[in-house]
Amino acid sequence: MINVKHVDTDHELNEAFFIREKVYIEEQQIDRADEFDEFDETSEHFIAHEADVPCGTGRYRETTEGIKLERFAVLPEFRKRGIASLIIESMLEHIKVNYPGEVKLYLNAQLSAMPLYSKFNFKPEGERFLECDIEHQKMSRTL
């Protein structure tokens, strides 16, 4: 069974960072300086576990444009099990509670992840662009 929760301990945050290290730095060859940034300290992080094994993560943060969802990562051996969807659902619930009223949500999706975000009513916005040499599409919606 998959359990997703808001990160509230240093141990859980380290698990999230471990997942991002494996997915972004090792698998996708993203430079460490581009992956880990100053927003890690002020973002709301989420961690998914299967049994006691950390398997997925994501974070969101407030910006001048709205709430930016980012840094979604699921370890390869746990993919295709709906873990990313569970993380998004958990984040959306957390945002609803902490940001009552209408709020703009947005993210920069790797093209392969666009169908996932579309299931949550995110719509493409603007032109595609390169971020860390990977093609992305900004997507947004209101909550």
- Residue 140 is assigned to a structural domain of this protein: no
Q: Which residues pair with 45 in a beta bridge?
A: 59
Report the CATH number at residue 40. 3.40.630.30
- Residue 115 is assigned to a structural domain of this protein: no
Per-residue pLDDT tens over the stretch 40-92? 999 999 999 999 999 999 999 999 999 999 999 999 999 999 999 999 999 99
Could you tell me the pTM of the whole model?
0.96
Tell me how far apart the alpha carbons of residues 122 and 140 are, in angstroms, rounded to a whole number: 5
- Residue 106 is assigned to a structural domain of this protein: no
- Residue 124 is assigned to a structural domain of this protein: no
- Residue 33 is assigned to a structural domain of this protein: yes
Angstrom distances, CA of residue 8 to CA of 51, 126, 132, 138? 18, 35, 29, 29
- Residue 135 is assigned to a structural domain of this protein: no
pLDDT value of position 131: 92
- Residue 20 is assigned to a structural domain of this protein: yes
Domain coverage including residue 11:
2-101
Q: How many domains does the chain have?
A: 1
Nearest CA among 80, 22, 85 for reference residue 48: 85
Per-residue pLDDT tens over the stretch 2-31? 999 999 999 999 999 999 999 999 999 999
- Residue 37 is assigned to a structural domain of this protein: yes
CB 57, CB 19: distance < 8 Å? yes
Q: What is the 3-state secondary structure (H, E, C) of the chain?
A: CEEEEECCCHHHHHHHHHHHHHHHHHHCCCCHHHHCCHHHHCCEEEEEEECCEEEEEEEEEECCCCEEEEEEEECHHHCCCCHHHHHHHHHHHHHHHHCCCCCEEEEEEEHHHHHHHHCCCCEECCCCEEECCEEEEEEEEEC
